[in-house]
Structure 1
Amino acid sequence: MSELEEEPLPALDLRLTAENLEDLYEYAPCGYCSCLPDGTLVKLNQTLLGWLGYSREELVARRCLQDLLTVGGRLHYETYCAPLLLLQNQVKEISYQLRLQNGSTLPVLMNAVLLRDTNGQPLVVRVTLFDITDRRKYEQELLRAKAEAEVQGEQLARANELLTIRNEQLTRINAELDNFVYTASHDLKQPASNMLGLFEELKQTITFHDPQADKMVTMFDESLHQMLSTIEELTMLVQRQRQLEQVPLEAIELRPFAEEIIRSLQPGTTSTADFTLDFEAAPTLRITRTGLHSMLFNLLSNALKYSEPGRRPHVWVSTTPADKEVVLSVRDNGRGLDLERHGHDLFQLFRRFHPEVVGSGIGLYLVNRLVHQAGGRIEVESTVGEGTAFHIHLPT
C-alpha cells in the first residue's frame, strides 16, 4: 500500500453529507431543464426559472426549449442542434441567447445529452445552460480592443509611410542643398580671390588723402579675407561630409588621439591652456577617424578661442558609458552662453554669439551634423561667465 493510501482522510463536517439533492438541482449555479425529443419542456430548475422570469406552470408542458431562444437561435437549434443530438446523442458548448420574460436576452452556453429507451428510441433531452454574460462582455471588450489596435496599426503604418516619404524628401533636399553650397562656394572662390588680388594691387598703386581712408581700406581688406575664408570653409564642409560617407568605422583609442589634437592646437613647448583627459570609463570609441577629429578639433579649439579674458583656459575631456551608448564630454571654463536666448540657434549655420572673437559660425554646425551622421545626439550645458559643456551621445 502506498504512503498516499495510508494517510488518514480529513474529518468531514457531517452537515455536508446531509446535502439535499433536490436543492442541489434547483439552486445549482447553472440552469437545468429536461425536454421531450420535440423540445417540449418537462422540467426546469429554479435557477433557470429565475433567469427567465417565468413560473414553472407557464413553461412545463406548454412551451418548447426552442421557444426560449431568439429567432436566430431557434433556427440554429432546429436545423443543426436537434439533428446533431439524434446523430451523436450529445452537443457541447453551443452559444445561444435566451429570451427573458421582460424582453431582454441572456447569453448562455448550452450542453445537451439525449437519453434513449431500451429500444433505442429518443426519450428525453437533458440540457445544462451556463450564464456567460461576463464572458461575452470580456469577448466584446477583446474584439473592441482588437479593432482599436487594428485602426491604430493602420494609422501607424500610414504615419510610418508618411515619415519615410518625408525622410526621403529631406534627404533629397539636403543633398540638393549640399550640391548648391558646394557649387556656389566653388564658383565664388575664384572671383573672390581675384578681388583680393586686385585690391592688394590697388593698395600699392593708389594714394588716399582722406584721413578715414586707411580705416576703410583695413575694413574692406578684412571683409574680403572673411568672405574668402567663409567660401573655403563651406567648400571644406561639404567635401568632408561627402568623404565621411565613404569612410569605414574603426575602434579609436581616445587618449593618444585627443593628445595629438591638443598638440596641434598648442604648437611649441609653452602651453597656453590646461587639459584634463579622463577616458578610463570608455577608453575607445568606434567611429570614423575623420569625423571624430572634426568633432574634437572644433570643440577644443572653440574652448580655447572663447576663453574668459584674464582666466587661464582649462578644458576637461572625458567619456562615460551609458545604456547602449558612450557619452563623450568636452567642458571648459570659458565665457559661456545664454542658452535661453541662443540655445535654439546654437547649431545653425553662420550663427555667432561672441562677435568680438573672430570666427565663421561653421564649427558647431559641422559638429552637430557629424554627430547626427554617426547616429548620435548632442546636449549642451552652459553658464555665462563660467563655461560650457558639450555631451555627445554616440551608439556603441
Structure 2
Amino acid sequence: MSEANDEPLPPLDLRLTQESLDDLYDHAPCGYCSCLPDGTLVKLNQTLLTWLGYTRHELVARQSLQQLLTVGGRLHYESYAAPLLLLQGQVRELSYSLRRKDGSGLPVLLNASLLRDFDGLPLVVRVTLFDITERRKYEQELLRAKAEAEAQREQLALVNEQLVAKNEQLLRLNADLDNFVYTASHDLKQPINNMAGLFEELKRTATFHDPTAANMVGMFEQALQQILGTIAGLTEVVQQQRQIEHLPVEAEDLQAFTEEIIRSLQSSTEHEPAEFTLDFAAAPRLRMARPALHSLLYNLLSNALKYTVPGRQPHIRISTEWANGEILLRVQDNGRGIDLQRHGQELFQMFRRFHHDVAGSGMGLYLVQRLVHQAGGRIQVESTVGQGTTFRVFLPQ
C-alpha cells in the first residue's frame, strides 16, 4: 500500500450515514409526485406540498396532476406530454405553471417517467418538478431588454432614415447653391468688367475740377476692385469644388509637397522672409486629392505669412502625427492671432476678415474648411492675440 493510503481517514459524523430515504424524498430540493396513468395523484413529497400550500389529504386520490396545472398547461399535458409518455416512456424539461392553493402561479420544469407492470401495461407516472421562478424572472427580463433594444433599434433606424433624407436634402441644396453662385458670378463678371473698362476710360479722358473728386475716384476704384475680387473668389470656390470631386486620392510626400508651396510663397515680394520648420517624421505621407492638399496648405501658409507682427520674423512650423487612426496636420505661426471669443463663430464663414489693414478676400479659411470636410476630416483652431495661431487638421486615412 502507498504511504497516502496508510493515512487514517478523518472522523465522520455517523448521523450523516443514518439519513432516512423517506426524509430525503420528502425534503428534497425539488418536488416529487407519483400519479396513476390517468393523472390521479397517489403520492407527493413535502417540498411540493409546501410549494402549493395544500395538505397531503387535500390532494392524494382527490385531484390529478392535470388539475394542478393552468388551463393552457393542462391542454398541453393531455395533448402532448401524456401521449409522449405512452410512446417513449419519458418526457424531459417541459415548462408549466402550477396553480397554488391561493391562486398564484409557480413556474416549474417537469420531468416524468412511466413505469409499466409485468404485462407492459402503464402502472404509475413518476414526476419531478423544479422551481424555475428565478429563471423565469431572468427570461422575462431578457425578453423585456430585447423588446426595449428592438424598440430602440427601430427608433434609431427611423432617426437614421431622417438623417439620410436631411443629408440628401442638404446635398441638393448645396449643389443648387453652388450652381447659383457659379451662375451669378459668371453673369456678373462681364458687366463688372465693362464697368471697370468704362471707369478706366473715364479717368483717362475726363477732367475733374472739384478737389474732392480725386478721393471719390479712389473710393470708387477700391469698391470696384472689391466686387471683382468677390466674384473671382466665388468662382474659384465652386470651380475648385467641382474639379476635386472627380480627382483621385493619392498619397503625397508632404516634405517635397510643402517645400514646393513654400518656394512659391517666398518668391513673392509681398511676404516677409520667414523661417519654416517642417516635421513629417511621424506621418510623412498624406492621402488626399493633390489640388485639394495644395489649396489647403497654400491658404494656411499664406495666411500665416500675411498676418505677421510688424518687426517680428515669421516662424511657421508644419508637422504631422497620428491621432486615433487619423493624421493630424498642424500649422503653427507666431503672428497676430485671432480673438476667438469675438470671432470664433464666424472664423470659417465666407468673406469674413478680421485684419482689414491686410489685403484679402475673406475666402481662404472658408475654402480650407470646405476642403477638410470634403475629405471627411475636421479642423480645430487655437489662437492668442499677439502671439500666434495653430490650425489642427484631422484627416482620415
Shift of residue 10, structure 1, vs aligned partner: 7.6
Distance 1:210 1:21 in 2: 129
Shift of residue 14, structure 1, vs aligned partner: 4.8
Identity between Structure 1 and Structure 2 (%): 69
Would the aligned equivalents of 2:37 and 2:123 in 1 still touch at CA under 8 Å?
yes
Q: Go from structure 1 to structure 2 and tell me whether the alpha carbon gap of 1:167 and 1:264 turns closer, same or farther (over 3 Å shift).
A: same
Q: Go from structure 1 to structure 2 and tell me whether the alpha carbon gap of 1:309 and 1:9 turns closer, same or farther (over 3 Å shift).
A: farther
Instruction: Indicate the residue corresponding to 2:363 in structure 1.
Output: 362
The aligned amino acid for 1:248 is P
Distance 2:291 2:65 in 1: 85
Distance 1:316 1:224 in 2: 37
In the TM superposition, what whole-angstrom CA distance separates every residue of 1:18-44 from its partner, at most 9, and x where no partner exists? 333222111111100111111111111
Q: After the TM superposition, which residues 33-72 of structure 1 pair with which residues of structure 2 at under 5 Å, given as runs?
A: 33-72=33-72
Distance 2:342 2:134 in 1: 59
Distance 2:31 2:197 in 1: 106
Q: Secondary structure at the match of 1:123?
A: strand
Q: After the TM superposition, which residues 148-167 of structure 1 pair with which residues of structure 2 at under 5 Å, given as runs?
A: 148-167=148-167
Q: After the TM superposition, which residues 341-356 of structure 1 pair with which residues of structure 2 at under 5 Å, given as runs?
A: 341-356=342-357
The aligned amino acid for 1:288 is A
Instruction: Indicate the residue corresponding to 1:302 in structure 2.
Output: 303
The aligned amino acid for 2:236 is M
Instruction: Indicate the residue corresponding to 2:222 in structure 1.
Output: 222
The aligned amino acid for 2:130 is F
Q: After the TM superposition, which residues 125-204 of structure 1 pair with which residues of structure 2 at under 5 Å, given as runs?
A: 125-204=125-204
Shift of residue 234, structure 1, vs aligned partner: 1.2
In the TM superposition, what whole-angstrom CA distance separates every residue of 1:287-341 from its partner, at most 9, and x where no partner exists? 1111111001000111111112332211111011122211111011111112222
Q: Go from structure 1 to structure 2 and tell me whether the alpha carbon gap of 1:74 and 1:193 turns closer, same or farther (over 3 Å shift).
A: same
In the TM superposition, what whole-angstrom CA distance separates every residue of 1:98-153 from its partner, at most 9, and x where no partner exists? 11111111011101111111111111111000111111111111111111222122
Distance 1:213 1:10 in 2: 124
The aligned amino acid for 2:181 is V
Instruction: Indicate the residue corresponding to 1:292 in structure 2.
Output: 293
Instruction: Indicate the residue corresponding to 2:377 in structure 1.
Output: 376
Q: Go from structure 1 to structure 2 and tell me whether the alpha carbon gap of 1:9 and 1:58 turns closer, same or farther (over 3 Å shift).
A: farther
Q: After the TM superposition, which residues 321-336 of structure 1 pair with which residues of structure 2 at under 5 Å, given as runs?
A: 321-336=322-337
272-281 or 79-88, which deviates more: 79-88
Q: Secondary structure at the match of 1:228?
A: helix
Q: Secondary structure at the match of 2:281?
A: coil
Question: Do residues 237 (structure 1) and 237 (structure 2) align?
Answer: yes
Would the aligned equivalents of 2:272 and 2:313 in 1 still touch at CA under 8 Å?
no
The aligned amino acid for 1:388 is T
Structural RMSD (CA):
2.0
TM-score normalised per structure 1: 0.94
Q: Secondary structure at the match of 1:392?
A: strand
Mind listing any 5+ residue stretches in structure 2 that lack a counterpart?
none
Distance 2:385 2:84 in 1: 87
Mind listing any 5+ residue stretches in structure 1 that lack a counterpart?
none
Distance 2:54 2:47 in 1: 11
TM-score normalised per structure 2: 0.94
274-283 or 74-83, which deviates more: 74-83
The aligned amino acid for 2:96 is Y
The aligned amino acid for 1:152 is Q
In the TM superposition, what whole-angstrom CA distance separates every residue of 1:218-244 from its partner, at most 9, and x where no partner exists? 111011011112111211111111111
Instruction: Indicate the residue corresponding to 2:75 in structure 1.
Output: 75
Q: After TM superposition, what 4+ stretches of structure 1 lie above 4 angstroms from structure 2?
A: 6-12, 268-271
Q: Go from structure 1 to structure 2 and tell me whether the alpha carbon gap of 1:8 and 1:68 turns closer, same or farther (over 3 Å shift).
A: farther
